[in-house]
């Protein structure tokens, strides 16, 4: 007896869903972590900022953070560097340089005034202070902080002083590294330790004293 078979049911394969872009998801997670770290340091301070708090604020698991960074200091350093890069991009500015108008005093005063404004900017002040303080007790972080954040700026100061040296505006025998520290070190100390007014007038005076010395003229 023959068996009547039902015709095979034809099915249309459902279109494949696109796979999520892992790279894009990773970038979103990183940016959320950066934003969370900067926000928490500004709100509760560095000592009370934790990996768990950053993870909760960013909406990620804390293991996600530990997969990329070993400490909250490392997270904050990258977040701070990322903030600077994004602000430069938003301002549509190229690589920063200290202007050379031919007047070394005016140029140094301009750049130190800009530094005062940046260090007083709430977006920068809390994370910058936290990184500077942590770098004192954490040598590895301190070296990384200097290499990635401070050294590029210090080199710009040295380059401007070298140009002034070549133009005969400062002595030929000066040590450029020590010379630039006459400007930036007192500025950093006053900002970090609140030892006096932190203003444009202060930085202008620093430049005058450093360039002309303290002896009677």
Q: How far apart are CA 43 and CA 57, in angstroms?
A: 12
Q: How far apart are CA 124 and CA 130, in angstroms?
A: 10
Residue 21 has a pLDDT of 55
Closest CA to 117 of 151, 87, 142: 87
Print pLDDT tens along the chain (217 aa): 333 333 444 444 545 555 455 566 688 899 999 999 999 999 998 999 999 999 999 999 999 999 999 899 999 999 998 988 887 777 666 556 788 999 999 999 999 999 999 899 888 899 999 888 888 888 888 898 889 888 888 999 999 999 999 999 999 999 999 999 998 999 999 999 999 999 999 999 999 999 988 777 6
Query: What residue spans of 45-138 are helical by DSSP H?
Result: 51-58, 62-68, 72-90, 104-119, 122-137
Q: How far apart are CA 122 and CA 135, in angstroms?
A: 20
Q: How far apart are CA 189 and CA 203, in angstroms?
A: 12
Contacts of 110 (CB under 8 A, 6+ apart): 99
* pTM flag (> 0.85): no
Residue 32 has a pLDDT of 95
Burial of 132 per CB tally in 10 Å (0-12, 13-18, 19+): middle
Q: How far apart are CA 185 and CA 176, in angstroms?
A: 14
Residue 199 has a pLDDT of 95
Residue 16 has a pLDDT of 54
């Amino acid at each position: 007896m023959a068996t009547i078979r039902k015709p095979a049911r034809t099915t249309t394969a459902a279109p494949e869903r696109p796979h999520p872009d892992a790279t894009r998801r990773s970038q979103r997670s990183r940016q959320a972590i950066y934003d969370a770290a900067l926000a928490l340091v500004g709100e509760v301070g560095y000592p009370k900022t934790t990996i768990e708090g950053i993870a909760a604020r960013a909406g990620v698991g804390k293991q996600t953070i530990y997969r990329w960074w070993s400490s909250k200091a490392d997270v904050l350093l990258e977040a701070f560097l990322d903030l600077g890069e994004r602000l430069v991009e938003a301002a549509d500015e190229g690589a920063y340089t200290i202007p050379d108008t031919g007047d070394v005093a005016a140029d140094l005063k301009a750049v130190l005034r800009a530094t005062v404004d940046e260090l007083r900017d709430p977006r920068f002040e809390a994370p910058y202070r936290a990184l500077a303080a942590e770098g004192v007790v954490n040598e590895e972080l301190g070296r990384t902080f200097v290499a990635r954040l401070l050294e590029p700026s210090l080199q710009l100061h040295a380059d401007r002083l070298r140009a002034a040296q070549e133009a005969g505006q400062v002595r030929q025998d000066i040590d450029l590294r020590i010379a630039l520290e006459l400007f930036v070190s007192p500025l950093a100390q006053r900002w970090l330790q609140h030892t006096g007014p932190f203003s444009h007038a202060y930085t202008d005076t620093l430049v005058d004293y450093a360039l002309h010395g303290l002896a009677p003229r």
